Amino acid sequence: MSSSLNLDAQDVGTVRFSYGDQEIELPLIEGSEGERAIDISALRSRTGMITIDEGFVNTGSTRSSITFLDGEKGILRYRGYAIEDLAANCDFVEIAYLLINGELPNADQATEFRSGIRDHTMIHEDMRSFYNGFPRDAHPMAILSSVVGALSTFYQDSMQVDDPDQVEISIYRLLAKLPTIAAYSYKKSMGQPFMYPSNDLSYCENFLHMMFATPAEDHVVDPDFAEALNLLLIVHADHEQNCSTSTVRMVGSSNANLFASISAGIGALWGPLHGGANEACVNMLEQIAADGGNVKKYVDMAKDKNSNFRLMGFGHRVYKNFDPRAQIIRACCDKLLAKLKIDDPLFEVAQQLQEVALKDEYFVERKLYPNVDFYSGVIYRAMGIPVQMFTVLFAIGRLPGWIAHWKELHANPRNRINRPRQVYTGQTSRKTVPVEQR
């Protein structure tokens, strides 16, 4: 696998500011899309001060050449290609290649990459027995994270982070095995036998086969479902320095191996404020439908500062106009439901919710729009995928992005262990007193 690395931002001058009687000058850098940043890395050594930015709202953690997004304009590009262009013209495996290697594959590269993945789709037979130990009702994200972490126990031959051959085989193993590990977690919850992968199928068809076929009955994969899944995986494939990707980079920065880093990323993705929002969103739509479809009541609850309730599938840290991924998915959702003649009451509730929220001053003022998770759940439901598997599908989609970032981190000569500082606000120095005097 080749790799491209371009992490040079341009030096475009300095920023000067004063503090007391001190005048400080710090470098100003500019990325290839004109984004500017003040390089504060020398601030502490020169002034004794650090910066603080809880939740990293205004902090760039790295230079990166993988994904560009402009939240104001609703732009998302992988390696320079617009998400709309990629979604219309590529399949998920090509996108994985693009993210990991920097360029779209030519025909020979694509064939080699696909066959490299196919060679590794099965999981070790001993690993299958892990599943016997998980409770039947275990959440599949917990299983996914555990089994991916356990890959480090089976592939001890490929854990050197500075050996390109070992990294390459780990990448193939992850891309190939994640759908198998995921489908087995579903089979476990159903009490059904695991289905081996079928390597004559495409990446998405194979996953649907492992999910829905049984030894007693073959499953003919609906091409519309495979197409919709391909699209969903593409739009989830990367999103620059989001919570799970930053986790993968953080863990990777200590030189932890790729399996350990991805397992940690899966844990971060699980949270309902991140990837878990697609599951939380459908649960919320079900709750609204069961409660008589009173959409306004839930919009009011989301606005009420005394309530913890939030409209799941709304809002984004970066997108402040629309989420381009939501727009692509919305069109796919319409097409699929119309074709299948599915009259899903949840979709009706989703539409009403969107209409009410988009006109409401609270949501307009705060620029809260439907995000990618708002429609993905409705599509997954139409495909017969159970709610608990939604975030697992997000993880399968996000895997190439995590890998690309982990690789970029290790190729970056500026890479140092990620270690933020803090402003301490606890007790100042004190002495213990004997227990009877406390």
| Residues at the interface with ligand CMC (CB under 6 A) | 239, 242, 273-275, 277, 302, 310-317, 366, 368, 371-373
Burial class (CB in 10 A: 0-12, 13-18, 19+), 413: exposed
Closest residue by Cα to residue 397 from 60, 96, 61: 96
Residue 379's Cβ-side half-sphere holds a number of Cα atoms within 13 Å equal to: 29
Q: Are 369 and 326 in contact (CB under 8 A)?
A: yes
Grouping H, G, I as helix, E, B as strand and the rest as coil, residue 350 is helix
Residue nearest to ligand CMC (CB): 315
Which sign, positive or negative, has the C-alpha torsion 213, 219, 221, 225? negative
Take residue 196 and report the two structure tokens written for it: 């081996």
Q: Kindly report the number of other CB atoms within 10 A of residue 21's CB atom.
A: 5
| Residue 29 structure tokens | 């850098």
In the complex with ligand CMC, which residue's Cβ is closer, 266 or 372? 372
d(CA 266, CA 337): 30
Q: Are 174 and 148 in contact (CB under 8 A)?
A: yes
Residue 330 to residues 95, 126, 205, 419: CA-CA distances in angstroms?
21, 41, 22, 39
Q: Single out the catalytic residue among 238, 316, 323, 405.
A: 316
Look up residue 388 and give its DSSP letter. Answer: G
The closest of 263, 252, 235 to 325, measured between CA atoms, is 235
Please provide residue 123's backbone torsions phi and psi, each rounded to the nearest 5 degrees.
-105, 155
What does the block give as tokens for 312?
């799941």
Per DSSP, what are the bridge partners of residue 36?
30
Our answer to whether residue 236 is catalytic in this structure is no
CA separation for the pair 400, 99 (Å, rounded)? 6
How far is the CA of 140 from the CAs of 130, 262, 278, 384, in angstroms?
Answer: 13, 15, 14, 16
**Contact (Cβ atoms closer than 8 angstroms) between residue 196 and residue 395:** no
**Catalytic residue list contains 124:** no
Rounded to 5 degrees, φ, ψ at 271 are -60, 145
Catalytically annotated residue among 91, 323, 373, 405? 373
Residue 271 beta carbon to ligand CMC: minimum distance, rounded to whole angstroms = 9
Active site residues: 316, 373
